[in-house]
A and B are shown apart, each in its own frame.
Chain A
Amino acid sequence: MHRHFDRDIAELTELLLKFGAIVEDSISHSIQALLERDTELAEQVIQRDDEIDRMELDIDAATLQLIAKMQPAAVDLRFVATIMKVTPDLERIGDLAVDVCERVLELNREPQLKRLIAIPRMAKISQEMVRQALDAFVRRDAQLAREVIARDDEVDALTEESFRELLTYMMEDPKNIARAIRLTFVGKYFERIADSATNICEMVVYLVEGKVIKHADITEA
């Protein structure tokens, strides 16, 4: 049966996707700024964070209104719960992109330490994970969500690898320490972006199947 609330649900979905699009832009620009040592681009990303914060507030308000008006049940309820949990994750991803850019600004004051190999790979994977997480949400694809969650291990492995490599640089020469530490942070940020993407996917599985798979050691996957 037709419900006028279906329109509100569709609008909320669009709002979230718009939000996701902006966050994805931030990620891609921050990667680009890192690789091309582009100070200006990095500053743009930092500026754009205000827009991201504003959108998070908008979505919060819209979601609460929907709950108050609609008293959603079953899949509608899970949908609203998903929106409420995915939004802060996306906002955090945006913040992490900003953090990357802040480190880029600092790094660009010194010459490049080394050719980056592990970190760009991590970055690309994290970026893909975020994109696929949002895809899974739109298409209600629990299978895709699970695949993304599995990739988190890749990112963790690359983080370890990059850290070891940077350690050797630090032990080589004290003058490298500052840049190496900043690069370690950058790696950490991308790892946490991947973690947030994983959280989003866990919510997608909850939305589609009603199953809670987070904290897999306690719950059953």
Chain B
Amino acid sequence: MTTLDFERRVETNRPVTSMQQQAADVRTKISVRDFDFYYGENQVLHGISLEIPEKQVTALIGPSGCGKSTFLRSINRMNDTIPGTRVGGVISIDGLDVNTPGLDVVALRRRVGMVFQKSNPFPKSVFENVAYGLRIGGLRDRGLMEEIVEKSLRRAALWDEVKDRLNASALALSGGQQQRLCIARALAVDPDILLMDEPASALDPIATQKIEELIWELKDNYTIVIVTHNMQQAARVSDRTAFFMLGKLVEYDDTNTIFMNPAQKMTEDYITGRFG
């Protein structure tokens, strides 16, 4: 073979780009089968079935009121706090049904962390916010607590910005910082799963981008399920996407497929904005 300019030659045996790489062997972390949800007599979720893979980002999209937030909150049973709700079907995490009678909901919520749409830090110091989950978990060792707080703040890409003011009020932080603080707070108790309900919808574009990059990094260690009304965000950030409408799961597939060539016309209409 004639040797030409090798300066910009590349290895010819590189595998196909990471974007195209198919997930070969992925474990299912959350398994949902025929899940129904009722607010009193009103059924808001109908027979939802899907498998959420481990250590990937799964996005739930759909128009307002389609049930995606309700579904998300069912995973860590936060809907229990609302009176008059009823469920049918099964949501299991690592094979265990979260609605098992007698299940310790408190322990469940430690394994499944949640970040809300509007950041809600406690009116305490930055340190105390992150340490809250540890304190109620019974941790007394101050040294260990400081270690975990630092690790969590680093994981949430916030450490450098707050390391000099751990004792300052959390309310003094900017909106984006507060949201990352809430993420650090959730990470401190070492959950397996992170549920995020429109985490960036109240933030400006730069802060949103920081959160999205953070989610990308976090998925190496956590299974993430994110509800978003911003479709482009779902495309940017997730590996799998589920499209909900009127309480039903319309389509669930790889994000690439959903956004390039969805199988259902309803999905395509929603994504292209022809909806409604």
Chain A positions within 8 Å of B, measured between CB atoms, are: 1-5, 7-8, 11-12, 14-15, 17-18, 21, 24-25, 28-29, 32, 58, 61-62, 64-66, 68-71, 131, 134-135, 138
Contacts and interface: CB of A to CB of B under 8 A. Distances in A.
Contact of B10 (A21, A61, A134, A135): A21
Contacts, number: 71
Interface string B123-160: 00000000000000000000000000000000000000
B256 A69 contact: yes
| Majority SS at the chain A contact face | helix
Interface of B: 1-2, 4-5, 8-10, 12, 14, 16-20, 209-210, 213, 216, 232, 235-236, 255-256, 259-260
Nearest to A16: B10
A68 B1 contact: no
Nearest to A31: B2
B8 A65 contact: no
24 contacts: A2-B213, A4-B216, A5-B236, A7-B18, A11-B19, A12-B17, A14-B10, A14-B14, A17-B8, A18-B14, A21-B10, A25-B1, A25-B2, A29-B2, A62-B17, A62-B19, A64-B260, A65-B256, A68-B259, A69-B236, A69-B256, A70-B235, A71-B235, A135-B5
Contacts of B1: 25, 29
Nearest to B206: A1
Contacts of A64: 260
B1 to A, nearest CB: 6
A24 to B, nearest CB: 6
Contacts of B19: 8, 11, 62, 65-66, 69
